[in-house]
């Protein structure tokens, strides 16, 4: 008997939710059915599909793309794939059904996302890939890509310059199933492996995660207390590794190298606590993608398939030119 009022509240809430859904549905269908063949020029609907919003770097990417699209006079909606190709596929199906006019796309997987892009292409919706590529050159309208490999070649060269050719170092890899993890690692090793005196004593995954980076670094320090440097596949892990070094009192002994250009790493480089990072330009890439979509609406079709966006080396010497996720403007 005591449960009654709560049951009533629940029933009312569920009823209201159902009514709300029922009220929404015809509208959505109407939008799909009532699509005129020739649209009025001007305001278009842009979908921004992002691999994950659980990482500030991608939040910057999504927010900048959205802001630029709105600036150009369009509507923009952000979809979060939560690093899951299946969820991403569902987003694409909804986007196609709701007749969006363009998709700014940050893929979750270089191979797994190809089918989604093809589906959109078949439905006549242009897709512009941002930051991460798909392993197909005939599906997306254009791909604006961060040059991870070359960025890490430059980082590797600076690493050798700072650490010397006779030293022990550790590497923190990103998520082991991710293309960027290996593009970065390969770029770095293409330089560093040429010096036999530079010994990698540990290579472990910190999963692009700050807490994981901290834990892995703590364990590595137990096994190899005498390392001279650590190369981290992203800045979140670099921050975690740095915390572990501070706690162990080894932050002066071990030189930290990151990748991304995140705000706190830029700050620590300026304070001469971290050596260097590779600055990617999420804002530049996101803006370019929104502008490409706008140009597409206006009739442009001759987009290059791949537009590499340079990664810049940020060191203690040039850090004053940079801020989090870009150059100072």
Residue 9: both structure tokens together? 């509240």
* Interface with other proteins, residue 222, by CB under 8 A: yes
Q: Which of 75, 93, 264, 291 binds other proteins (CB under 8 A)?
A: 264
Q: How far is the CB of 288 from other proteins (least distance, A)?
A: 22
User: Closer to other proteins at the Cβ: 93 or 264?
Assistant: 264
Residues 6 or more apart in contact with residue 326 via CB below 8 angstroms: 261, 279, 281, 282, 283, 284
Cβ proximity of 290 and 69 under 8 Å: yes
| Cα–Cα distance, 292 to 307 (Å, whole number) | 11
Q: Between residue 138 and residue 197, which ones bind other proteins under the rule CB under 8 A?
A: 173, 176
Q: How far is the CB of 254 from other proteins (least distance, A)?
A: 16
Q: How far is the CB of 202 from other proteins (least distance, A)?
A: 5
Going by C-alpha positions, the residue among 229, 286, 282, 283 that lies closest to residue 258 is: 229
* Interface with other proteins, residue 84, by CB under 8 A: no
* Interface with other proteins, residue 48, by CB under 8 A: no
Q: Which of 204, 305, 315, 323 binds other proteins (CB under 8 A)?
A: 204
* Interface with other proteins, residue 218, by CB under 8 A: yes
* Interface with other proteins, residue 101, by CB under 8 A: no
Q: Which of 214, 232, 254, 266 binds other proteins (CB under 8 A)?
A: 214
Q: How far is the CB of 104 from other proteins (least distance, A)?
A: 18
CA 29 vs CA 22, 33, 98, 162, 185: distances in Å: 11, 6, 8, 61, 48
* Interface with other proteins, residue 229, by CB under 8 A: no
Q: Which of 77, 203, 284, 323 binds other proteins (CB under 8 A)?
A: 203
* Interface with other proteins, residue 12, by CB under 8 A: no
* Interface with other proteins, residue 210, by CB under 8 A: yes
Q: Which of 202, 290, 309, 314 binds other proteins (CB under 8 A)?
A: 202
Q: Which of 139, 239, 256, 314 binds other proteins (CB under 8 A)?
A: 239
* Interface with other proteins, residue 106, by CB under 8 A: no
* Interface with other proteins, residue 112, by CB under 8 A: no
Q: Which residues bind other proteins (CB under 8 A)?
A: 3, 6, 10, 53-56, 59, 173, 176, 201-205, 209-211, 214-216, 218-220, 222-223, 236, 239-240, 243, 246-247, 264
């Amino acid at each position: 008997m005591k449960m009654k009022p709560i049951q009533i509240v629940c029933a009312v809430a569920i009823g209201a939710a159902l009514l709300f859904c029922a009220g929404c549905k015809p509208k959505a269908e109407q939008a799909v059915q009532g699509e005129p063949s020739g649209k009025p020029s001007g305001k278009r609907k842009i979908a921004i599909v992002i691999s994950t919003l659980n990482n500030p770097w991608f939040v910057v990417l999504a927010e900048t793309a959205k802001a630029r699209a709105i600036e150009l006079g369009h509507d923009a909606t952000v979809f979060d794939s939560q690093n899951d190709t299946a969820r991403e596929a569902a987003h694409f199906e909804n986007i196609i059904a709701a007749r969006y006019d363009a998709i700014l796309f940050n893929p979750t997987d270089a191979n797994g996302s190809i089918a989604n892009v093809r589906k959109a292409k078949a439905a006549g919706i242009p897709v512009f890939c941002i930051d991460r590529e798909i392993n197909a050159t005939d599906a997306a309208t254009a791909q604006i890509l961060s040059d991870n490999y070359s960025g890490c070649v430059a980082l590797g060269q600076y690493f050798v310059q700072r650490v010397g050719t006779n030293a022990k170092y550790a590497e923190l890899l990103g998520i082991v199933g991710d293309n960027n993890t290996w593009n970065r690692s390969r770029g770095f090793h293409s330089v560093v492996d040429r010096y036999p005196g530079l010994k990698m004593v540990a290579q472990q995954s910190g999963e692009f995660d700050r807490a994981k980076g901290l834990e892995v670094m703590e364990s590595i320090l137990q096994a190899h207390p005498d390392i001279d440097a650590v190369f981290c596949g992203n800045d979140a892990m670099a921050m975690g590794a740095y915390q572990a070094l501070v706690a162990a009192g080894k932050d002066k002994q071990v030189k930290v190298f990151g990748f991304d250009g995140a705000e706190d790493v830029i700050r620590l480089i300026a304070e001469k606590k971290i050596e260097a990072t590779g600055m990617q330009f999420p804002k530049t890439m996101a803006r370019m993608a929104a502008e490409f979509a706008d140009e597409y609406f206006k009739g442009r079709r001759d987009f290059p398939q791949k537009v590499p966006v340079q990664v810049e080396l940020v060191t203690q010497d040039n850090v004053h030119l940079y801020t989090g996720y870009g150059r100072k403007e």
